[in-house]
Amino acid sequence: MKLLYLVRHAKSSWDDPSLSDIDRPLNKRGQKNAPMMGKRMKRYENLPEFIVSSPANRALATAQIIAGEIGFNKAEIKIENSIYGGGVSGLIGLINVFPAEVKCAMLTGHNPTMTYLANELSGSDIYNMPTCGIALIEFATATWKDVAAGAGRLVDFDYPKRQDAEDMFGSKLNC
């Protein structure tokens, strides 16, 4: 089995209009939500052993904050330029070449692609993945190259304003 965390970057700042889109940082809410979501993720039995992020400041900062909360070495986060502005098929292609030995991975990117990707992979009907939202999808496959549209099952969908988040970590997943 393979597990994939899809993470939409936390809330970003629009305070400095001179910054390009790729350089926008997290705002105060994003800086608060990212560690909170990392703490929630840490409750899972299986945590990412491979993290890939968009190069955008807000996405990479989100990935680094979550990595810190779950005990993942931030220096080992892979930056993949194709995530920034990439579409669903390109991201599926990226997932298909994740290292074979990795059983649990995390991909941090942008909307609307992250919402579309979660729905495409799992056959779910998530209307919108909020900022710092996390979709956890499992695949009954031994290889990442078999990850395809409809091949996964949405195990959980969490986001900062979710009211029942404290109750959602009862399931134990074994990669």
CA 28, 31, 137, 23 torsion-angle sign: positive
SS3 call for 106:
strand
CA angle, 36 as apex, 150 and 170 as ends, to 5°? 55
Tens of pLDDT, residue by residue over 48-89, are 999 999 999 999 999 999 999 999 999 999 999 999 999 999
pLDDT band for position 163 (cuts 50, 70, 90): confident
Tens of pLDDT, residue by residue over 127-157, are 999 999 999 999 999 999 999 999 999 999 9
Q: 2-13+22-75+89-167 belongs to which homologous superfamily?
A: Phosphoglycerate mutase-like (3.40.50.1240)
pLDDT band for position 162 (cuts 50, 70, 90): confident
* 126 within 8 A of 132, measured Cβ to Cβ: no
Instruction: Say which residues have a Cβ less than 8 Å from residue 145's Cβ, sequence separation at least 6.
Output: 96, 97
* 1 within 8 A of 141, measured Cβ to Cβ: yes
Identity of the amino acid at 3: L
What is the structure's pLDDT at 174?
45
pLDDT band for position 119 (cuts 50, 70, 90): very high
The region, left, alpha or beta by phi > 0 then psi within -120 to 50, assigned to residue 100 is alpha
Tens of pLDDT, residue by residue over 14-53, are 999 999 999 999 999 999 999 999 999 999 989 999 999 9
Query: In terms of Cα–Cα distance, which of 127, 107, 131 is closest to 58?
Result: 131
Return the DSSP state at 46: S
pTM given for the model = 0.93
